[in-house]
């Protein structure tokens, strides 16, 4: 009797052990197939094609021996871990200007030099999910309601406005145009931005921080993202928000994009001082807002 139980237990142990082994094997195979490893292999092959074994044998050997590894930038100030360079390995390497993505050199190396990758990472300008190691996970394309999909190219300057206030000085012309439209079209008549005086409509000071879950996408045709909601809402506020008192303005496509870029730059995120340009008066926006409010109460 006892022996029978023992035998049963033994076979149970063997079976579960085998199942574990099989699962481990599957994981190992899947691990080996991770897309980032393929990109790294491709990168190594491309790099080996660019360096000469005869001229620089040491480098050649080193590159040949490259093992796949996750490349990440930890930016404690933003609480960000950006693994984008795991696939975008050539981003700072001028040998890769004509390579295909994800290996291409950054299109604006000067901009990158002014914002060193090890200090700024990538997502502070691009958005996306920094910790991801897959193309989809990094959110290159919008996934419906995803909190922080990558910033579309046409709205890239919105991020410059997180830190820079002198848009013209940095050549952020879309942002400058968006701000000018905001003034010319008297948007502040209804909307508060920082210490503005409108009150008929939602405050926009933290529009860029607004959770995607709080937008109504019922009447949105395109991507279910904050950026697209803002764009489509400008084209027709009363279509996106039935009954809205906000009207649509006569703007051309570029102007609508510029205005969208501008509202997407409105954040209340505050960085440590060293992340604000020195020449900008605005050191930390919150301080300024507090100072403004104190002024309001002083005689
Ligand atoms: C798993 C590998 C992988 C990771 C991780 C990754 N990318 Fe990419 N990325 C790619 C590939 C592949 C392309 C080219 C896609 C194409 O051309 O169809 C690309 C293209 C891009 C582009 C060009 C625009 C586009 O969508 O085609 C940008 C910008 C970009 N990546 C930024 C980032 C940022 C920022 C991160 C980190 C948040 C990141 N990538 C992480 C693989 C990756
Ligand atoms: C200071 C802000 C900033 C930082 C930091 C930054 N980028 Fe960019 N990036 C830009 C801007 C602006 C563009 C668009 C340039 C243009 O118009 O061609 C761009 C373009 C790109 C493109 C090409 C997009 C396309 O559609 O062809 C890729 C890929 C890219 N960046 C990847 C990265 C990665 C990876 C990092 C981090 C290692 C990074 N960037 C860091 C601002 C930044
Ligand atoms: C996280 C904050 C941050 C973001 C986002 C950011 N910058 Fe900067 N930028 C800085 C800091 C800090 C400096 C250094 C300036 C200094 O040392 O005074 C700088 C410097 C620059 C400079 C050089 C200015 C000079 O006087 O040398 C340019 C141009 C510039 N940024 C353009 C941009 C553009 C364009 C974008 C958007 C694509 C952008 N920046 C996004 C913080 C930021
Ligand atoms: C007559 C008052 C009025 C004017 C002027 C006005 N808006 Fe609005 N706006 C509203 C109201 C009310 C809403 C909320 C209903 C809706 O979603 O349309 C709104 C919503 C918005 C939203 C979405 C805010 C959120 O958190 O959901 C943005 C962004 C916006 N307006 C920007 C602008 C800009 C930019 C202008 C100038 C071109 C402007 N508005 C002019 C009344 C106004």
CA 273 to CA 263: how far, in whole Å? Answer: 23
83 lines ligand 3 (CB under 6 A): no
pLDDT at position 220 is 97
Q: What are phi and psi of 117, to 5 degrees?
A: -55, -40
Strands (E), the chain: 73-75, 80-82
99 lines ligand 2 (CB under 6 A): no
- For the chain, the C-alpha Rg in angstroms (whole number) is 26
CB 277 within 8 A of CB 163: yes
* Domains of the chain and any CATH numbers: 35-140 (no CATH), 157-297 (1.10.760.10)
> Which of 179, 192, 188, 173 has its CA nearest to residue 259?
179
202 lines ligand 4 (CB under 6 A): yes
In this prediction the pTM is 0.89
156 lines ligand 1 (CB under 6 A): no
> Which of 148, 35, 49 has its CA nearest to residue 87?
35
CA 269 to CA 113: how far, in whole Å? Answer: 24
CB 81 within 8 A of CB 128: no
CB 40 within 8 A of CB 68: yes
**Backbone dihedral region for residue 105 (phi beyond 0: left; psi -120 to 50: alpha; all else: beta):** beta
Could you tell me which residues come within 8 angstroms of residue 152 by beta carbon, excluding any fewer than 6 positions away?
227
**Residues lower than pLDDT 70 in the chain:** 1, 13, 20, 22-33, 195-199, 280-299
pLDDT at position 197 is 58
Q: What is the pLDDT of residues 179-200, one digit of tens each?
A: 999 999 999 999 988 765 556 7
Question: If you take atom 30 of ligand 2, which residue's CA is the nearest one?
Answer: 106
Q: Quickly list DSSP for 239-279.
A: HHSTT-SPPP----HHHHHHHHHHHTT-------GGGS-TT
Closest listed ligand to the CA of 77: 3
> Which of 190, 197, 198 has its CA nearest to residue 293?
197
Closest listed ligand to the CA of 275: 3
Token digits of residue 193: 């931005």
pLDDT at position 156 is 97
């Amino acid at each position: 009797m006892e022996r029978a139980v023992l035998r049963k237990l033994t076979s149970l142990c063997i079976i579960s052990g085998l199942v574990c082994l099989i699962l481990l094997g599957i994981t190992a195979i899947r691990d080996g197939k991770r897309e980032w490893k393929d990109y790294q292999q491709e990168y190594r092959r491309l790099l080996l094609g660019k360096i000469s074994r005869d001229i620089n044998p040491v480098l050649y050997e080193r590159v040949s021996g490259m093992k796949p590894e996750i490349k990440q930038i930890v930016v404690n100030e933003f609480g960000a871990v950006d693994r984008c360079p795991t696939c975008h390995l050539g981003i700072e390497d001028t040998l890769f200007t004509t390579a295909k993505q994800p290996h291409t050199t950054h299109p604006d190396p000067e901009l990158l030099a002014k914002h060193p990758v090890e200090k700024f990472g990538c997502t502070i300008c691009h958005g996306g999910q920094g910790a991801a190691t897959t193309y989809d996970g990094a959110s290159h394309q919008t996934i419906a309601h995803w909190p922080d999909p990558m910033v579309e190219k046409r709205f890239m300057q919105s991020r410059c406005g997180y830190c820079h206030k002198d848009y013209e000085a940095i050549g952020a012309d879309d942002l400058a145009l968006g701000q000018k439209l905001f003034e010319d079209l008297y948007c502040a008549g209804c909307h508060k931005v920082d210490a503005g005086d409108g009150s008929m409509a939602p405050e926009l000071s933290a529009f860029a921080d607004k959770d995607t879950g709080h937008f109504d996408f019922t009447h949105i045709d395109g991507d279910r993202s904050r950026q697209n909601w803002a764009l489509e809402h400008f084209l027709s506020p009363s279509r996106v928000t039935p009954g809205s008192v906000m009207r649509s303005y006569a703007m051309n496509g570029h102007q609508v994009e510029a205005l969208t870029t501008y509202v997407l730059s409105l954040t209340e995120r505050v960085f440590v001082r060293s992340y604000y340009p020195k020449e900008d008066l605005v050191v930390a926006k919150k301080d300024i807002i507090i100072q403004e409010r104190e002024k309001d109460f002083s005689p």
